[in-house]
Structure 1
Amino acid sequence: MRDYHLPGRSPVLAMNGMCATSHPLAAKVAIQILESGGNAVDAAIAGAVLLGICEPQMTGIGGDAFALVQLPGEDRILALNGSGRAPAAFDAARLRDEGHTEIPLTSAHAVTVPGAIDAFCTLSERYGRAGLATSLAPAVHYAEAGIPVAPRTAFDWALATETLQGSARDAFLIGGTAPRPGQIFRAPRQAEVLRQIAQDGRAAFYEGEIAEDMVAALNAAGGMHTLEDFATAASTWTDPISGTYKGADLTEHPPNGQGATALLLLNILKQFDITSMDPLGAERVHIEAEATKLAYDARNRLIADPDHTARLAHMLAQDTAERLAALIDPARAMADPAPLSEAVHKDTIYITVVDRDRMAVSLIYSIFHSFGSGIASEKYGILFQNRGAGFTLAEGHPNEAGPGKRPMHTIIPAFLGGEGRPTMPFGVMGGAYQSTGHARFVSNIADFGMDPQTAIDAPRAFADAGSLKVERGYPDTVRAELTDLGHKIEIPEVAIGGAQAIAIHGDGVLEGASDPRKDGCALGY
């Protein structure tokens, strides 16, 4: 139980249905969908698509999505990969010949075909109840009427305005500048796109006039995209992967997402007595940071397009974790492994919904970096992700950029449970941090008995790019101890990540938790 003398959030409790996400309007819309007879899939689509208007620097219809779905009355979890592919004409050798060692973030070469719309259409058709038009109606309305920009959104928006190019500046700036908190943002051209998708389904986006608008913009920016690349875009049903940490079962999306990294990280942490440590102390931060370096090094070597990830079993094996754990010195920080040649990011949205029948959806939806590639289509103002920058240009690497390939993704939805029964959809935003964030969330619950809201509220640290980012929630004494261990300490400008979770209790109560680092909330009815 939290100390009510101090600022904080209480868990949100309800019986019939719940949504937790990073903007209150999206949570409200999801609940309205549930109250009107829709199910968790309908509500998750409605909230997610609306978040592209509420937080356009984080996500949008030019991005990708991954989803985990638990059907009513079942313990089985289904996984949908809604990530897009590189154009069929993509040529990594050409970029290397031009002198590139990595894919430029704000180039058309970084734009993979957006996969989210196909994923939403696929989810709605197979498991939705209310229909796609119902799910898209709130986003159509608010894209036209406008939404007051929330404080955290405005903060992030202002940090990324220089990414926006050409027509994207007209679409996402107001008078040439980032909007202030409370200023109204409208996206009427996106409303028209969503209206056409609601009427004609995925074909409205991937074929015809809208696709022509997107391909023309990408070709004008030097891209290799064709109408055929868009017409053949398709999400993929796959099987999730899972592992156990101290009685907690963690289910993750398989590659090309980085969910296996979270499982490996927890397997490494199993080799240490985390429970005996101060949950907010330097010892725990140090062990987690060292384990993160090793787990992410494995990720960078092994995770790629599912058709090119050949050593997943090795990554998930207990003996792999044991060998890596043996490399950790409890008294000294190791040097970072070789840095990534592909890009990582900090920006995404996550939404989770549980309905009356206990269908549960864990969904994450992103344009990669803040405002993605910064390139938007001319007529409809569709902002493109730069997810292709998640490829490497290293020749022969499993994640080498190539025609029709999916890049390694940082965005990962998850479920937590026990005894083979999923009981908590959750997600942690924050780009590369997400695997560490999942492990930290699970450890907070399994090692220290925290409730989901407390586990989310707790301060975070992340070993990233040669430094250890430590939030201000830790006291200076912890930072000093970590410095003495050899870590290069940095207090990040932006809080690390954001998280949402819904615990499904056996007595029928739903318990929602939402990260105070974001503008959002959990709502139930």
Structure 2
Amino acid sequence: MRDFHFPGRSPVLATNGMCATSHPLGAKVAVNILERGGNAMDAAIAGAIILGICEPQMTGIGGDCFVLWQEYGGGQIKALNGSGRAPAALDAAHLRDAGETIVPIQSPHAVSIPGAIDAFCHLSDTVGKLGLDALLAPAIVAAENGVPVAHRVAFDWARDAWVLQGKARNYYLVNGEIPQPGQIFRAPQQAEVLRRISAQGRDAFYTGEIAEDMVATLNLLGGRHVMEDFANVAATPTDPIYGAYKDIDVVEHPPNGHGATALLIMNILAQFDIAAMDPFGAERTHIEAEAAKLAYDTRNRFLADADYMTRLDHMLDVETAQHLAALIDPKTAIRNATEISENVHKDTIYITVVDRDGMSVSLIYSIFNGFGSGIASDKFGILLQNRGSGFTLEEGHPNELKGGKRPMHTIIPGMIRRNGKVIMPFGVMGGAYQPNGHARFASNLVDFGMDPQTAIDAPRAFSDRGDMKVERGYSDQVRRELADMGHDVSIPETPIGGAQAILIREDGVLEGASDPRKDGCALGF
């Protein structure tokens, strides 16, 4: 139990249903859906969609999602890949011939086809109970009438608004200015898009006038997108992957997401006696950073669209982790580890819901960088993701940009099982940090016996392309010790990531935890 003399959050307890997410309006909508008789999937979809209005710099209908869920009575965890593909006519060779060495992150070539709407429609039809019109109604009202800009959202908006291009500035500035906390943000054109999806389903988004608007906008900027790219979008059911960390299994979404990276980090950490270390000391922080460096280098070599990746078993093999762990010097930072090549960002939303019947959902939904590509469709103001910048232009690489291919993705929903039973859906936002964050969350729970809220509140550090970012929650002494080990230490301007979790206790009580680094909360009934 936390010391009530100090600021902090108590876990949220409920028995009938719960949502934890990064904005209170998303949590409220999800709980409202549960109270109306919807299941956890209904609630997660409804909450996620409204977050695109509450946190437009993080997510929206021009983005992608990944989902893990377990239906009633336990059994198999299911997964759905709602990530989009590169336009069929685009190829890495085109960009190499133009002199590019990476996919330009604010260009139409970085815009992969949005996959989230198809995934949400599929899940509403096959898993949900209330129907798409009921799930989209709250977001339609919010987009039409507007929502007050929350404090963390305003902070991010000010940092990221510079990427907005052309008409995107009309849609995502308020009277031409970056909104301040409490100002109302409206998106009436998106309300119209959602109304059409509500009435006509996914085809309203992927064919006809709305798709034409996205294609025309991208083509005007030099994109190679065509209508068939949108019409052919289809979410892919797939099989989760998992790994053991002491007495728990951590379940992840398979590639093209990088959940395998989280499992590799945990396998490396398992080679050390982490539980014997100070949870907030330099020794643990150093070992974790070195494990992440090596695991991310492995990711950069192998991880790609599942249809192109051949080394997943290698990444998940404990022997691989043992070999990597042997490279770690407990006293000295690795200086020549291959640099993390990912275009780093911190812009994603995560939502988890558990209902009274035991269905649990772990859903993550993003447009990648802050405000994505910075490109919004001319007529409807759909802000388009830049997930295509997750590709490499390196010839022959499994993650090389090719038409119709999915890029390596950073967003990863998670679940924790004990003795074969799901006990906690969870997620950690924060771009490249996410696998590191999953491993730290699991270690906080298992190695140090923290409850979910304490595990989320705990300070974080992340070795990010040679920059050892150490939150202010650590002591100056720890920073000095890390610097003495050879880390280039800094205090990040923004906190590292954000997280939510719901613990399903043995007595049936739901215990929700939500990261104070974000505006959101856990809410139950």
TM-score of the superposition, structure 2-length normalised? Answer: 0.99
Q: Render the CA deviation track for 1:272-314: whole Å, top value 9, x for unaligned.
A: 0000000010000000000000000001111100001101001
Q: Tell me, in whole angstroms, the C-alpha distance in 2 between the residues paired with 1:177 and 1:274.
A: 48
2:7 alignment partner AA: P
Give the conservation status (yes or no) of the 8 Å contact 2:342–2:432: no
1:484 correspondence with 2:480: no
The AA in structure 2 aligned to 1:355 is D
Q: Which residue of 2 aligns with 1:278?
A: 278
Q: Is contact 1:293–1:336 with CA below 8 Å preserved after alignment?
A: no
Which residue of 1 is the match for residue 208 of structure 2? 208
Match of 2:13 in 1: 13
1:2 paired to 2:2: yes
Q: Are residue 387 (structure 1) and residue 364 (structure 2) matched?
A: no
Is 2:281 aligned against 1:267? Answer: no
Determine the C-alpha separation between the residues in 2 that align with 1:458 and 1:507.
26
For 1:477, what is the secondary structure of its paired residue? helix
Aligned to 1:148: 148
> Equivalents in 2 of 1:427, 1:182: separation in Å?
27
Q: Which residue of 1 aligns with 2:499?
A: 499
CA drift of 1:505 comes to: 1.1
Question: In 2, distance between residues paired with 1:381 and 1:186?
Answer: 11
1:113-132 to structure 2, matched below 5 A, reads: 113-132=113-132
Question: For 2:232 and 2:296, how far apart are their aligned partners in 1?
Answer: 32
Matches within 5 A, 1:279-318: 279-318=279-318
2:320 alignment partner in structure 1: 320
Distance 2:157 2:317 in 1: 41
CA deviation after TM superposition for structure 1 residue 178, in Å: 1.1
| Distance (Å, rounded) in 1 between the aligned partners of 2:111 and 2:202 | 19
Contact kept? 2:255, 2:408, Cα under 8 Å: yes
Q: Which residue of 2 aligns with 1:82?
A: 82
Give the whole-Å Cα distance in 1 for the aligned partners of 2:161 and 2:15: 42
How far 1:205 sits from its partner (Å)?
0.1
Q: Is the 8 A contact 1:103 1:342 kept in 2?
A: no
Contact 1:342 1:392 in 2 (8 A): no
Correspondences of 1:223-242 after superposition (within 5 Å): 223-242=223-242
Counterpart residue identity of residue 254, structure 1:
P
Distance across 2 between alignment mates of 1:336 and 1:26? 43
Name the CA distance, whole Å, in 2 between partners of 1:212 and 1:127. 30
1:34-45 equivalences under 5 Å are 34-45=34-45
Paired with 1:341 and 1:291, the residues of 2 have a C-alpha distance of 16
Q: Which amino acid aligns with 2:498?
A: G
Q: Secondary structure at the match of 2:6?
A: coil
Paired residue type of 2:300: N
User: Matches of 1:482 and 1:344 in 2, distance apart?
Assistant: 23
Aligned equivalent of 1:436? 436
Unaligned runs of 5+ in 1: none
| CA distance, structure 1, for counterparts of residue 212 and residue 138 of structure 2 | 26
Of all paired residues, the percent bearing the same amino acid is 70
Q: Match of 1:185?
A: 185
Distance 1:175 1:141 in 2: 21
For residues 306 and 378 of structure 1, what CA distance do their matches in structure 2 show? Answer: 33
Cα deviation for residue 346 of structure 1 reads 1.2
Q: Retained in 2: the 8 A contact 1:344–1:390?
A: no
TM-score (norm 1): 0.99
Q: How many Å apart are 1:338 and its aligned residue?
A: 2.3
Q: What is residue 56 of structure 1 aligned with on the other side? A: 56
3-state SS of 2:307 partner? helix
CA distance in 2, matches of 1:91, 1:322: 37
Query: Over aligned residues, Cα RMSD in angstroms?
Result: 0.7
Secondary structure in 2 matching 1:156? helix
Q: 1:27 matched to which residue of 2?
A: 27
Alignment of 1:336-351 (within 5 A): 336-351=336-351
2:177 partner amino acid: T
Aligned length, in residue pairs: 525
Which residue number corresponds to residue 460 of structure 1?
A: 460
**Structure 2: which 5+ residue stretches go unaligned?**
none
Offset at 1:344? 2.8
Would the aligned equivalents of 2:146 and 2:186 in 1 still touch at CA under 8 Å? yes
Where does structure 1 differ by over 3 angstroms across 4 or more consecutive aligned residues? none
**Are the counterparts in 2 of residues 109 and 223 from structure 1 also a CA contact under 8 Å?**
yes
Counterparts of 1:148 and 1:364 in 2: how far apart (Å)?
A: 23
Give distance in 2, aligned partners of 1:94 and 1:340. Answer: 24
SS in 2 for 1:152: helix
d(CA) in 2 for partners of 1:366, 1:331: 37
Shift of 1:339: 2.5
SS where residue 513 of structure 2 aligns?
Answer: strand
The answer to which of 336-345 and 188-197 deviates more is 336-345
SS at match of 1:118: helix
Q: How much has 1:336 moved relative to structure 2?
A: 4.4
Task: Give 1:418's aligned residue.
Answer: 418
CA distance in 2: counterparts of 1:339 and 1:170, whole angstroms: 37
Amino acid in the other structure paired with 1:29: V
Letter in 2 for 1:315: M
| Contact 2:118/2:202, CA 8 A, preserved across alignment | yes
Within 5 A, what are the aligned runs for 1:359-374? Answer: 359-374=359-374
